Amino acid sequence: MNTSYTLGTLRMKNRVLVASGTFGYGNEAAAYTDLSRLGGIVTKSVSWKPRQGNAPTRIAETPAGMLNSIGLANVGIDAFISEKMSFLRELDTSIVVNIAASSTDEYIDILERLEDEEGIEAYEINVSCPNVKEGGLNFGTRCDMTETITRELRRRTKRTLIIKLTPNVTYIEDFARACEAEGADAISLINTLVGMAVNIQTRRPVLSTITGGLSGPAIKPVALAKVFQSSRAVSIPVIGIGGITTWQDGIEFLLAGASAIQVGTASFRDPDAAVKIVNGMEAWCLEQGVEDMQELVGGLRIDEGVKAPGFVKAK
């Protein structure tokens, strides 16, 4: 069976990656899982300068999910290159560097800095972090900004360019189309949904930033629907993210239209979760007589004439 998947310069041994912010820079979880079994690692977001992140409390568990407001705490581009890349480069898995920034220029500066680094197969552009004041969601919820960033970065790299989209918009398909039109190689979705939690004893919000990003199994049905909608709106591949916890979840995303998947919050629960998902998906495909996982992508069986409601944009 063929499990490999190639997306431009990103050549993965399978279709399962670990999502940005849920797997650090690869080294932290190395003692708990076989990194060489992963299709790829998407790094923690890297910004130009180190970011301290938000004040505590930064996380809260909610029913079948969690809220986070980390605020893109990361080491910054210099330390990323000098301290993190040597470990990542040696790994027998594909490396996707996730970039976060507060301006188009900062995205460009970071990408150009990374262009000289060997061992990076793709970039994932975070235009959708809900937890920072500048940039983040401001970009991801504005189609024109998403277009500009995609266009400017596309001009500057031949490496695979993936734009990570937020579900916190009215029509995610518009953003998917904008990315495709400006030359993105793929889109990944969904980033977290804006949510909040309240402590009734103190009558305060649980998170220091009041709202945060919701992830985990609670958001999987939303993510599946967004992947389905987006994958039908564009011809570039969609990478499915959102609450994937079991191998069955992974198959569901492929059927809904994802060409690859990312495992996120599940790695917090079990750092070996993504590898278990790889193994489970492969075993199921063998059992089902699937020769290439591409057969599953978008393979959802829908009777002729049946359409999902609510997809038609008001004129």
Partner 1 sequence: MTKVNADLKVTAIEQVAEDTFTLRFQSSELAGQLKPGQFINILVSERIEPLLRRPYSISNIYNDECEIMFSLLGKGTHILAEKRPGDTIGVLGPLGNTFGYEKSFGTAVIVAGGIGVAPFPYLTRVLKEKGIPTVTFLGARSTSRVVRDGLENLHIATDDGSEGFHGNVIGALAEYMQTHDVDRPMIFACGPNPMLQATQSFAHEHDILCELSLESEMACGMGICQGCPIEHHGGGRKYTLVCTDGACFDSRDIIFHEHHA
57 touching partner 1, by CB under 8 A: yes
Whether omega before 190 lies within 30 degrees of 0, making that bond cis, reads yes
Interacting residues with partner 1 between 236 and 275 (CB under 8 A)? 245, 265, 267-272
Residue whose structure tokens are 């990312």: 262
Query: What is the C-alpha to C-alpha distance for residues 187 and 124, in angstroms, rounded to an integer?
Result: 9
Q: What angle do CA 248, 227, 141 make, to 5 degrees?
A: 140
CB of 217 to partner 1, least distance (A): 5
From the list 1, 4, 28, 112, which residue makes contact with partner 1 (rule: CB under 8 A)?
Answer: 28
Q: Are strands 65-68 and 59-62 parallel, antiparallel or unpaired?
A: antiparallel
Tell me: does residue 61 bind partner 1 (CB under 8 A). yes
Neighbours of 138 (CB within 10 A): 14
Cβ at position 25, least distance to partner 1 in Å: 9
User: 45 or 231, CB closer to partner 1?
Assistant: 45
Closest CA to 44 of 99, 122, 102: 99
List the interface residues with partner 1, window 75-104 (CB under 8 A). Answer: none
Given 15, 17, 21, 214, the residue binding partner 1 (CB under 8 A): 21
Active site residues: 129
| Residue 117 in the binding site for partner 1 (CB under 8 A) | no
Sign, Cα dihedral of 197, 198, 199, 204:
positive
Helix, strand, coil shares of the chain as percentages rounded to 5? 35, 20, 45
If binding means CB under 8 A, how many residues of this protein chain bind partner 1? 37
Min dist. Cβ of residue 300 to partner 1 (A)? 24
Instruction: Look at the chain and count its residues.
Output: 315
Among 39, 40, 65, 136, the residue binding partner 1 under the rule CB under 8 A is 65
Identity of the amino acid at 139:
F
Which positions from 193 to 222 touch partner 1 by CB under 8 A, shown as an x/- string? ---------------x-------xx-----
Nearer to partner 1, 9 or 62 (CB): 62
Provide, rounded to whole angstroms, the least separation between the CB of residue 79 and partner 1. Answer: 11
Question: Could you tell me if 192 and 184 are in contact, meaning their C-beta atoms sit under 8 angstroms apart?
Answer: no
- Cβ atoms of 104 and 146 within 8 Å: the answer is no
Taking CB under 8 A as the binding criterion, the range among 47-55, 128-136, 157-165, 193-201 that sits at the site for partner 1 is 47-55
Least Å from the CB of residue 111 to partner 1: 23
280 binds partner 1 (CB under 8 A): no
- Is there binding between residue 276 and partner 1 (CB under 8 A)? no
Q: How far is it, in rounded angstroms, from Cα 300 to Cα 58?
A: 38
Q: What is the DSSP letter of 314?
A: P
Applying CB under 8 A, the residues found at the interface with partner 1 are: 21-24, 28-29, 31-32, 44, 50, 52-53, 55-61, 63-66, 68, 70, 73, 208, 216-217, 245, 265, 267-272
